Structure 1
Amino acid sequence: MMKAEIIAVGTEMLLGEITDTNTPYLARQLAQLGIDMYYQNTVGDNPARITGLLAQASQRSDLIVLMGGLGPTADDVTKQTLTSFLKRPLVTDAAAEQKLHEQARRLQHALTANNYVQAQLPADSIPLANRTGLAVGSWTAVDGRVYVTLPGPPQELRPMVSEQLIPLLAKQTHHVLASRMLRFFGLTESVIATRLAEVIDAQTNPTIAIYYQFPDIAVRITARAQDTESAERILQPVVRQVQTLLGDAYYGEGEHNSLAQVVGNELIHGQHTITAAESLTAGEFQATLGSVPGISAVFPGGFVTYAAAQKTAMIGVPADTIQAHGVVSAETAQAMAEGAKRQVGTEYALGFTGVAGPDNLEEKPAGTVFIGLAGPAKTVVREFHLIGSRNEVRARAVAWGFKMLQNNLPE
């Protein structure tokens, strides 16, 4: 059984300036391959201390992964320290160097000597191409051990791990992996864990892992087998079982998918037009919707109506409704949704009103939210009592708006 060790390099992590999200991510990926993890280290940008950890790791681990410190600045010392430890020179990877030149031409700037460091790796290594950045990673096998270097930025590290490192490791472990990331919204992590407890306890292959990814919950199901077809055959029944147990909370799947992306695509493919009138969310729903490519085909525009007077002036919410029921009410949420739909002429419209906090409003506690959804045949309104900071309440309200919309779209 292969034993792995992680060395996360970066003084900024020791100072608490950034949080290391790479180590838990990589640990999960290695665990799915059946690779044991006994040591995780964080070290500053100091060659002597990195060398000390390499010396320890080389005595106790088969796979040593260094993350961070591959860039062009003076404090990026990881690959230089590794080559010194291994007594190997740095060499240039032609593909990585070409990418440097292509970016320089595109941005119309000249490359400096330190830029070329990003294209270097230890001699006799397998390059790990960086699809989203410039610093090449490396796989170096020495005396029965493997030393891996990965870039620090998560948006560069994760594709390199999934697309390059994992396939290399799978060959070492003689396993083929099949994995599905199912995404859920509307249930807490504890509720999901309870509903899946028997399934999780019964499974060793495939494995099931639950991840809280605010405001969603993701469930990764991973099967191991000798070939892809066998792995998929093991995987499919458990995927269906998990979807059944968690019911309507399921909204889609994918490593980088989101509720907004899924619902936005459903709107586009179904040619369902949408608008919104927002109070407590202050345009956050519309901004999130606007991040979906192609959404302009079905989203002509919307409204941000914080003040009561603007709710009346912009979308025709009756002043009597606000006077009788208050700004934070089911009646106002309904009138906002129906008014926005009427003004823009869309098939669907959402109205958001509530108390983001931290203070109460109209004798209603922070976290009280009403969302109205006006559709082709009727308007539905839901009341929520959300927890968290002001921004978390707003984000949860936006997510619930997307979920309400998804639940009411035609099949």
Structure 2
Amino acid sequence: MKYLRAELISVGTELLLGDIVNTNAQYISKELAALGIGVFHQSTVGDNPQRLLECFDEALKRSDLVITTGGLGPTKDDLTKEMAAEYFGQEMVLHEESWEYIKERCMKFAPGKPIPENNKKQAMFPVEATVLKNNNGTAPGAIFEKDGKRIIVLPGPPWEMKAMFNESVRPFLQQFTDSMLVSRVLRFNGIGESALELEIEDILDNQTNPTVALYAKEMEVLIRITAKAKDDEEAKELLDAKVAEIRERVGKYIYAEGGEELVDGDSKIEETVAKMLVEKGLTIATAESCTGGLVAGTLINYPGISDVFLEGCVTYSNAAKVKRLGVSEETLENYGAVSPQTATEMAEGIRKGLGADIGLSTTGVAGPGGGTDEKPVGLVYTAISINGETKVRKNNFRGDRQKVRRRAVRQILIDLKSMLEEL
């Protein structure tokens, strides 16, 4: 079976201006990879007919398939399918079934109002094209084919595009592939990218199937393992074997394992820690100064945390630290709010005051102002009080105010995870 090469073209001047974040290309690339279809080029083009034709020509010289998103609306600058038809030399005619569907949707959402004439433009397609119904909007998609080359046009709104891809495009493309790509992701903390690379250097240097790739993230490292297989069962066997090999060497640094969902978005350390707390039945409370409730808010993201999370306090002022947490005025006077002594009393005060098993605290200088030579911006003390013992960490974070705060949250959760594992 011929290996299919695909290329993505995102259409819309608003994308070039940065008014809209292009999530469509990311989604389609992942879906094509899972089908075993390679994507080697992506491009973005404005609503210009000549430049769009040039994109089609360049893309189809090196690829078998082009998938576009956007430019299927009713206005004059929506020209994607018109240019696809022109590129293949195909004449546009009214697709009656699509026109009836569009009229039906228009009457449903604007009953009693005349249907704009330009909506008929969305129902125009060549007779050679395969029209793809849009169950979530008025812009049908289509598959254009000629001489072994294909252009698939999809709507721009992500919810419409994703539904059409799942309902129509994926089933169409499955006929061109006899393999699939499946990935598994390992997330690490406590080891840097360079050190991790040295630990698995021979694995990285001798790759066949699965492949292994390292990715440095903020305060963590990811490994993505990707297997090419004929089905899920074969992929699982390949991935299990490679994961076991990596775990044997650096398993103590792994805090999460899962699919592609672990690659994007924020770290999953909070899910790991929250799950451990719930499973162990350990109650927890937080006392925060510079992080302003981010530790509590992060833990509360986990469903079921209400079983163990008792309370979160934002004690920003010295008076609040004294009144709410029982921090000694003498401690604040002698050492200041940003000190290991204050962090200790904050963690112990919230734990004892609520009768919790664990107390967490943060206090520091998030910036951009307020720093001194002795206590510079980025200095944050985090403390964890558990089982009658309190551990304090001195952190010197770099970055702006928000980065300092986020890094403080992440570090205290990493430390809590380690302590929970020791119990």
TM-score w.r.t. structure 2 length?
0.77
Structure 1 residue 67 and structure 2 residue 69: aligned? Answer: yes
Per-residue deviation at 1:223?
Answer: 0.8
Q: Secondary structure at the match of 2:261?
A: coil
Per-residue deviation at 1:165?
Answer: 6.2
Alignment of 1:16-95 (within 5 A): 16-17=18-19, 20=22, 23=25, 35-69=37-71, 77-79=79-81, 81-82=83-84, 85=87, 87=90
- Say whether the 8 Å CA contact 1:268–1:295 is kept in structure 2: yes
Aligned equivalents of 1:134, 1:321: Cα separation in 2: 67
Change (3 A) 1:71 1:365: farther
Deviation per CA, 1:66-104: give whole Å up to 9, x if none: 23446788765545654565546686789x99xx89xx9
Q: CA RMSD in A?
A: 4.1
Aligned equivalents of 2:242, 2:310: Cα separation in 1: 41
The match for 2:15 among 13, 16, 31 is 13
- Say whether the 8 Å CA contact 1:128–1:164 is kept in structure 2: no
Residue 390 of structure 2: aligned partner: 379
Aligned equivalents of 1:377, 1:120: Cα separation in 2: 71
TM-score w.r.t. structure 1 length?
0.79
The match for 2:202 among 198, 203, 210 is 198
Alignment of 1:4-403 (within 5 A): 4-17=6-19, 20=22, 23=25, 35-69=37-71, 77-79=79-81, 81-82=83-84, 85=87, 87=90, 110=110, 123-125=129-131, 142-149=146-153, 169=173, 171-214=175-218, 216-252=220-256, 253-257=258-262, 258-359=268-369, 360-361=371-372, 363-403=374-414
Per-residue deviation at 1:179?
Answer: 2.0
Whose radius of gyration is greater, 1 or 2?
Answer: 2
Aligned equivalents of 1:317, 1:247: Cα separation in 2: 40
- Say whether the 8 Å CA contact 1:121–1:137 is kept in structure 2: no
Aligned equivalents of 2:317, 2:131: Cα separation in 1: 62
Q: How many residues align?
A: 402
Q: Secondary structure at the match of 1:384?
A: strand
- Say whether the 8 Å CA contact 1:128–1:165 is kept in structure 2: no
Per-residue deviation at 1:229?
Answer: 2.3
- Say whether the 8 Å CA contact 2:36–2:179 is kept in structure 1: no
Which one is further off, 272-281 or 225-234?
225-234
Gaps of 5+ in 1: none
- Say whether the 8 Å CA contact 1:45–1:75 is kept in structure 2: yes
Residue 265 of structure 2: aligned partner: none
Deviation per CA, 1:268-320: give whole Å up to 9, x if none: 34333222111111111222222222322322321111222211111111122
Q: Secondary structure at the match of 2:376?
A: coil
Gaps of 5+ in 2: 263-267
- Say whether the 8 Å CA contact 2:134–2:160 is kept in structure 1: no
Q: Sequence identity of aligned pairs in percent?
A: 38
Aligned equivalents of 1:371, 1:344: Cα separation in 2: 19
Change (3 A) 1:19 1:242: farther
Q: Secondary structure at the match of 2:309?
A: coil
- What code does the residue aligned with 1:64 have? V
